[in-house]
Amino acid sequence: MMDATTPSEQTEKRARAGRSARREQRSHGPQGLGRPYIVRNIPTYDILSEEGLIRIEETADRILAEIGIEFRDDPVALDHWKRAGAKIDGVLVKFEPGMLREILKTAPASFTQHARNPAKSVEIGGKSVVFSPAYGSPFVMDLDKGRRYGTIEDFRNFVKLAQSSPWLHHSGGTICEPVDVPVNKRHLDMVYAHIRYSDRAFMGSVTAESRAEDTIDMARIVFGEEFVDANCVILGNVNVNSPLVWDGTMTTSLRAYARANQAAVVVPFILGGAMGPVTNAGAIAQSLAETMAGCALTQLERPGAPVIFGNFLSSMSLRSGSPTFGTPEPAVGSMVIGQLARRLGLPLRCSGNFTTSKLPDAQAMNEGTVSMLAAVHCGANFILHSAGFLDGLLSMSYEKFMMDTDFCGALHTYLDGVVIDDNQLALDAFREVGPGNHFFGCGHTMANYQSAFWDSELADNEPFEKWEAAGSVDAATRANRRWKKVLAEYHAPHLDPGIDEALKDFMARKKASMEDAWY
Amino acid sequence: MMDATTPSEQTEKRARAGRSARREQRSHGPQGLGRPYIVRNIPTYDILSEEGLIRIEETADRILAEIGIEFRDDPVALDHWKRAGAKIDGVLVKFEPGMLREILKTAPASFTQHARNPAKSVEIGGKSVVFSPAYGSPFVMDLDKGRRYGTIEDFRNFVKLAQSSPWLHHSGGTICEPVDVPVNKRHLDMVYAHIRYSDRAFMGSVTAESRAEDTIDMARIVFGEEFVDANCVILGNVNVNSPLVWDGTMTTSLRAYARANQAAVVVPFILGGAMGPVTNAGAIAQSLAETMAGCALTQLERPGAPVIFGNFLSSMSLRSGSPTFGTPEPAVGSMVIGQLARRLGLPLRCSGNFTTSKLPDAQAMNEGTVSMLAAVHCGANFILHSAGFLDGLLSMSYEKFMMDTDFCGALHTYLDGVVIDDNQLALDAFREVGPGNHFFGCGHTMANYQSAFWDSELADNEPFEKWEAAGSVDAATRANRRWKKVLAEYHAPHLDPGIDEALKDFMARKKASMEDAWY
């Protein structure tokens, strides 16, 4: 925001833009085109009883008090815990029941993550739902070239595809690993790509404290130092090294984000039977324990810093020993996690369109739909992996990305639920049409048809004969055509040339200060 | 049941077998293999407020009182309504608010549909969930031969595939139209195929009153007259001719089933914008009005007869005018329908794996999964179209059938929810493993792994390299191989030769009494 206004004027401008965007979204009809994020109009699906939730919370408390969590390679974290009154034994930290809940009281229940385009800022918490692309694949794939390592060009392509979709709300983070850029420098190119090719909110680097700090420095160039200190403009997705270990790489990054008043997303990745027990209730209790500890650490670093309660539950094929995704256990587990997060009063992150399928086929969309609906039903405010996930998180698929964003569109309508008013109840239409006649041309239909139904751009609803005459094209092939069209039509959003120059200078200086590292 | 026991002994034998089957299902672990039906362990997903539900009920009441429903070509139905106090004007019947609800008080909230194998009888109502194959397609398709008209051989194949799946609970009805058998005789072959090739409960003919009666006569041969009069052994799926018309073909069949104490499934098929308004709340109100009238008619025919509250909501692509399936509006609409059915105290039928896709591809399973999960979440007790549906109900797909039944398996685990007990909470496992170690070989894992996770027989969870080395096979091709293997391994369940002979005699006599009709 290198313009003539003061930071507080900027804040007010942003707030006004956000309000007007929220007003606008109500006038867009059920398809919700142009909403910066979704405000859910259906309740969460609370599947576990109060009694069951209490049993899980008690188990988490006992894990924390009796077994404890190791905080490795981060003396500052240990120091925080010591001052907070935890029991320290080497790197093992034990927490009295209730202690973490007390610390977490300073964390906000909801916060705004600002985008560089204020109309695209997102609310994270309460009834808001934000869809963000998949994160972290080393490979990319498409139907033409198959699977190969991701490059910075692929990374930019996915940022552009995300920016072009009206059904995503966030630019994501490490959409794929750009393996053609040195490991120690690629965070700069990734963050720059999000800022340059998207005007939505995004996620920064977490693979080293210095890289988290570089991300925050680049955000300061875009938003101004004072604005960044007072507002969340970046999320950093940090993983627990489950079971019950927090690694210094992650906690130093987590603390860097919290210190700068930016939001860590705290995520245990629990593959039941490997990093957690094979039983769902136990894995959920573990997830709760690990997440509470991580979230609380942000509050010790900077009370009041925004933080997101995350989770990533997965099961295992016990015939092959392979991880499975989109299966029933994580789906119902997510819904319980949602209940637990709400009892803590923290914004919730869940994972979206999971699958182990290697192709954008029937398996991919069955598993993806199960897990995405679980994320939506459980009340997740921030849904990572909403689009593109294939092959157990190893591949980012161009075709699956288009299928998933289309489904994200359908979910806008889904989350609107059934609206009740005189027009929707349509008593006059029945009077007009009467028994045995059709509603095609009636006044009520004419007045409502334009916003009546979700209309997928990717699904084929044509009669068989018409579909056959057009070449019997399957969903994957349609998606293949679509991403090429969308990329060809992409236009970059405006970026202030002064900011662009400053970002490039920053990156050049940083890159010049390091030798290339490739692993 | 042509054995030496009396009908009341038979009833007791059946009841005992049913109880033992229900006891047995609790010992089968989360995968639920061998359950005759599911008893849900998660609540229904109630998405609409009490206030919203009341507005819909009031609208349905006003439709019934002010606009009315036509009952065409069935003087007996009109006579029933007259005696019940409705206002009759020609074939138009109007109902005072509350009148239908009062009549419906005699309908049971739950009932058993008996199978010829008593261990496979299903409970319909309350917390029970019964999966039944798709119904009514004129075409069948598979990857080898593409789409073609269904034959009696296809029909038998699907009965055999259903019987072979541990994840379906019901043999269904008109799984596909056997167009190589004359229209006026094919109901006999279909009913016989269900009895001969399956030992599960099934659905009978509804396309004429005489065909409904033939179905019931065949059931009497299998179960005995007295047993049939006292117990439900057949369902008949009758459709409203929406909007607001009940056709004589349907009401005479509905009354034939009710008269014989068998269960009509009362289903308005509302394609929003055509047979109902384009707005969801209005379509739901219409569905409620039409279903209440049909269900009430069964109670006038025979108070206390079992009846199922059904619905079939669908939307329309307003670009092409084609029906759409598996879209968000019917999904959220189904959940509201579920709430309304529970307020009436009637068992609920919803529809399962819907899609307009012409192939068993990504679109098919995305749309199918959305609608199947809605059916499961809304509390449906009987889910028709659980397997095989493709091409907007025009095709029964061999491959989709295998994909869908596999998903039905996953839903057994899903509906078990998160079980809470000491073993599931696994505190001892955390004590045993501790921070930073894996759970692979720990005692808790060894004790629980066999029943731990849903393990699909169709999904590929292997690493990419292994999958590629095995030929890069997609989900549809795996399903194609699987249905062939299952059909090849099929064994017919035992059928008493005396009963078989009596059924064949009955069919031969009936067929000899009619000229072939082909339309």
pLDDT tens per residue across span A59-106: 999 999 999 999 999 999 999 999 999 999 999 999 999 999 999 999
Contact B453 A273 (CB under 8 A): yes
Residues of chain B contacting residue A66, judged by C-beta atoms under 8 Å apart: 431
- Rounded to a whole number of angstroms, the distance from the CA of A57 to the nearest CA of chain B is 10
Does B272 share its domain with B183?
A: yes
The pLDDT value recorded for residue A14 is 47
Burial class (CB in 10 A: 0-12, 13-18, 19+), A470: exposed
B490 within some domain: no
Cα B313 to Cα A436: distance, rounded to the nearest angstrom: 17
A259 strand-pairing partners: none
Q: Which domain holds residue B367?
A: 103-416
Tell me which chain A residue has its CA closest to the CA of residue B407: A366
- Rounded to a whole number of angstroms, the distance from the CA of A219 to the nearest CA of chain B is 35
* The pLDDT of residue A209 is above 60: yes
* The pLDDT of residue A128 is above 70: yes
- Rounded to a whole number of angstroms, the distance from the CA of A214 to the nearest CA of chain B is 30
Tell me which chain A residue has its CA closest to the CA of residue B447: A278
Does A446 share its domain with A323?
A: no
* The pLDDT of residue A28 is above 50: no
One digit per residue, the tens of pLDDT, for chain B of length 519 reads 334 444 444 444 444 444 444 333 333 333 456 799 999 999 999 999 999 999 999 999 999 999 999 999 999 999 999 999 999 999 999 999 999 999 999 999 999 999 999 999 999 999 999 999 999 999 999 999 999 999 999 999 999 999 999 999 999 999 999 999 999 999 999 999 999 999 999 999 999 999 999 999 999 999 999 999 999 999 999 999 999 999 999 999 999 999 999 999 999 999 999 999 999 999 999 999 999 999 999 999 999 999 999 999 998 887 778 899 999 999 999 999 999 999 999 999 999 999 999 999 999 999 999 999 999 999 999 999 999 999 999 999 999 999 999 999 999 999 999 999 999 999 999 999 999 999 998 999 999 988 889 999 999 999 999 999 999 999 999 999 999 999 999 999 999 999 999 999 999 999 999 999 998
Coil, strand, or helix at residue B269? strand
Does B241 share its domain with B270?
A: yes
Partner residue facing A436 (CB), from B45, B70, B279: B70
Residues of chain B contacting residue A445, judged by C-beta atoms under 8 Å apart: 273, 277-278
Q: Which of A360, A386, A416 is the last residue of a domain?
A: A416
| CB-CB neighbours of A83 under 10 Å | 9
Contact A328 B414 (CB under 8 A): yes
Residues of chain B contacting residue A286, judged by C-beta atoms under 8 Å apart: 430
Does B219 share its domain with B319?
A: yes
| Higher per-residue confidence, B64 vs A4 | B64
- Rounded to a whole number of angstroms, the distance from the CA of A490 to the nearest CA of chain B is 24
A508 within some domain: no
The pLDDT value recorded for residue B33 is 62
Tell me which chain A residue has its CA closest to the CA of residue B93: A435
Contact A363 B450 (CB under 8 A): no
A484 within some domain: no
Contact B445 A278 (CB under 8 A): yes
B47 within some domain: no
Does A192 share its domain with A322?
A: yes
A75 within some domain: no
Does B358 share its domain with B438?
A: no
B17 within some domain: no
Does A311 share its domain with A438?
A: no
Contact B429 A277 (CB under 8 A): yes
Tell me which chain A residue has its CA closest to the CA of residue B361: A362
Contact B281 A424 (CB under 8 A): yes
Give helix then strand counts, H and E, for chain A. Answer: 19, 20
pTM of the model: 0.94
Q: Which of A386, A416, A446 is the last residue of a domain?
A: A416
Does B286 share its domain with B174?
A: yes
**Residue with token string 């009758």:** B238
Partner residue facing A365 (CB), from B46, B52, B365: B365
Residues of chain A contacting residue B274, judged by C-beta atoms under 8 Å apart: 438-440
| DSSP secondary structure of A220-276 | HHHH-HHHHHHSB-EEEEEEE-SSSEE-HHHHHHHHHHHHTTPEEEEEEEEEBTTTB
- Rounded to a whole number of angstroms, the distance from the CA of A314 to the nearest CA of chain B is 10
Cα A329 to Cα A336: distance, rounded to the nearest angstrom: 11
Partner residue facing A424 (CB), from B280, B435, B455: B280
Cα B286 to Cα B275: distance, rounded to the nearest angstrom: 10
Residues of chain A contacting residue B411, judged by C-beta atoms under 8 Å apart: 328
Tell me which chain A residue has its CA closest to the CA of residue B56: A425
Residues of chain B contacting residue A362, judged by C-beta atoms under 8 Å apart: 360-362, 364-365, 400, 403, 474-476, 479
Contact B277 A331 (CB under 8 A): no
- Based on the structure, what is the number of domains in chain A? 2
Integer Rg of chain B from CA? 23
Tell me which chain B residue has its CA closest to the CA of residue A355: B461
Does A391 share its domain with A444?
A: no
- Selected for mutation to probe chain A from B247, B365, B462 (highest A CB count within 10 Å) is B365
- Selected for mutation to probe chain A from B137, B275, B280 (highest A CB count within 10 Å) is B280
Residues of chain B contacting residue A464, judged by C-beta atoms under 8 Å apart: 147, 358, 391, 394-395
Residues of chain B contacting residue A435, judged by C-beta atoms under 8 Å apart: 67-70, 92, 243-245
Give the count of alpha carbons within 13 A of B80, CB side only.
21
Tell me which chain B residue has its CA closest to the CA of residue A413: B328
B178 within some domain: yes
Cβ-proximal residues to A402 (8 Å cutoff; 6+ apart), any chain: A161, A458, A479, A482, A483, A486
The pLDDT value recorded for residue B26 is 36
Does A248 share its domain with A123?
A: yes
Residues of chain A contacting residue B277, judged by C-beta atoms under 8 Å apart: 426, 429-430, 439, 444-445, 448
The pLDDT value recorded for residue B28 is 36
- Rounded to a whole number of angstroms, the distance from the CA of A516 to the nearest CA of chain B is 30
Q: Which of B356, B390, B416 is the last residue of a domain?
A: B416
- Rounded to a whole number of angstroms, the distance from the CA of A12 to the nearest CA of chain B is 37
Tell me which chain B residue has its CA closest to the CA of residue A283: B425
- Rounded to a whole number of angstroms, the distance from the CA of B56 to the nearest CA of chain A is 7
Contact B410 A68 (CB under 8 A): no
- Phi, psi angle pair for B477, to nearest 5°: -70, -40
B269 within some domain: yes
Tell me which chain B residue has its CA closest to the CA of residue A450: B318
Contact B438 A275 (CB under 8 A): yes
* Tokens linked to B511: 């067929």
Encoded amino acid at A110, one letter: S
Does B376 share its domain with B291?
A: yes
Per-residue DSSP letter, B451: G
* The pLDDT of residue A18 is above 60: no
Per-residue DSSP letter, A449: G
The pLDDT value recorded for residue A441 is 87
Q: Cβ distance B253 to B208 under 8 Å?
A: yes
Partner residue facing A455 (CB), from B277, B317, B395: B317
Per-residue DSSP letter, A63: I
* Tokens linked to B107: 């309908």
Encoded amino acid at B508, one letter: A
Contact A373 B373 (CB under 8 A): yes
Partner residue facing A273 (CB), from B51, B420, B452: B452
Cα A208 to Cα A516: distance, rounded to the nearest angstrom: 15
CATH of the domain at B136: 3.20.20.480
Residues of chain A contacting residue B449, judged by C-beta atoms under 8 Å apart: 273, 278, 318
Give helix then strand counts, H and E, for chain B. Answer: 19, 20
Tell me which chain A residue has its CA closest to the CA of residue B324: A461
Coil, strand, or helix at residue B166? coil
Does B411 share its domain with B427?
A: no
Q: Note the pLDDT tens digit of each residue in A260-282.
A: 999 999 999 999 999 999 999 99
Contact B318 A453 (CB under 8 A): yes
Tell me which chain A residue has its CA closest to the CA of residue B412: A328
